[in-house]
């Protein structure tokens, strides 16, 4: 794979106009006036078209001031091996675990604190942006990865539409309700009524709904299966164990034809 020239892939996140001659540390969209900049090797293209995204941003920035790792079960190593050698975007990259293992991956995240940690972890290409409004031209990437975050988005359909717009192949891992009796009821009891959450938005997505959203985005499903990301990761619900070996996630690969 040739070295990524990120500056040639940018489009305005507000109006999707191609941004020509992005060479300096700051600039403006000639069509709508959206301003962008580059500081500390991080491109700032944050435009949140949905109010609720802004509401959760402050919480995520606060969360990323402390340790906010991911499961150490080999998941990220597998995803990094897919990303490596391909023009890949990692949407909601967090603190850059995939980018640490595959530094040529473009990491996108709307928490600046998370991106600063990703930079320390060795990520080369970092963009501050909202998954609902990606600042890239159509078909900018060969692969788009969304790992364990779609259930935390305000509008998953809009985020999937954006993934489809900017990539040829999509790899999505998303939490669904655990295969336990009354799982959906118990999940809502803890998150909505008892306010026990790992992240600000917790909306598991069942496989049928996920596949429907992907097809609505014009994607053809190539593979669907399960993934065993931990449930109750970090023991958010203190009196329950962390469950590490149940089929907690849908794992879907799609292609845009």
Count Cβ atoms within 10 A of the Cβ of residue 219 and give its class: 0-12 exposed, 13-18 middle, 19 or more buried: buried
Per-residue pLDDT reduced to its tens digit, 204-228? 899 999 999 999 999 999 999 998 7
Strand, coil or helix: what is 174? Answer: strand
Q: Nearest 5°: phi and psi at 79? A: -65, -40
Superfamily of domain 6-256: Vaccinia Virus protein VP39 (3.40.50.150)
Per-residue pLDDT reduced to its tens digit, 52-105? 887 787 787 777 777 666 667 788 999 999 999 999 999 999 999 999 999 999
pLDDT at 198 over 80: no
Residue with tokens 């990437």: 141
pTM above 0.85, yes or no: yes
Domain boundaries, the chain: 6-256
């Amino acid at each position: 794979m040739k070295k990524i020239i990120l500056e040639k892939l940018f489009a305005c996140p507000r109006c999707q106009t191609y941004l020509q001659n992005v060479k300096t540390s700051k600039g403006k969209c000639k069509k709508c006036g959206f301003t962008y900049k580059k500081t500390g090797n991080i491109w700032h293209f944050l435009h949140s078209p949905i109010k609720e995204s802004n509401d959760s941003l402050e919480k995520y920035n606060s969360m990323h001031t402390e340790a906010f790792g991911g499961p150490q079960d080999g998941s990220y190593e597998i995803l990094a091996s897919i990303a490596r050698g391909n023009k890949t975007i990692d949407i909601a990259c967090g603190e850059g675990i995939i980018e640490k293992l595959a530094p040529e991956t473009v990491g996108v995240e709307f928490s600046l604190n998370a991106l600063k940690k990703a930079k320390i972890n060795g990520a080369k290409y970092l963009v501050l942006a909202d998954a609902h409004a990606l600042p890239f031209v159509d078909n900018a990437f060969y692969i788009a990865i969304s790992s364990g975050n779609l259930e935390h988005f305000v509008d998953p359909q809009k985020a999937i539409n954006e993934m489809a717009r900017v990539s040829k192949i999509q790899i999505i891992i998303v939490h669904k309700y655990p295969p336990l009796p009354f799982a959906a009821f118990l999940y809502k009891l803890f998150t909505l009524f008892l306010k026990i959450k790992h992240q600000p938005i917790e909306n598991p997505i069942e496989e049928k709904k996920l596949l429907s959203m992907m097809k609505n985005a014009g994607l053809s499903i190539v593979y669907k299966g399960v993934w065993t990301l931990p449930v109750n990761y970090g023991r958010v619900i203190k009196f329950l164990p962390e469950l590490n070996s149940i089929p907690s996630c849908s794992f879907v690969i799609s292609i845009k034809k």
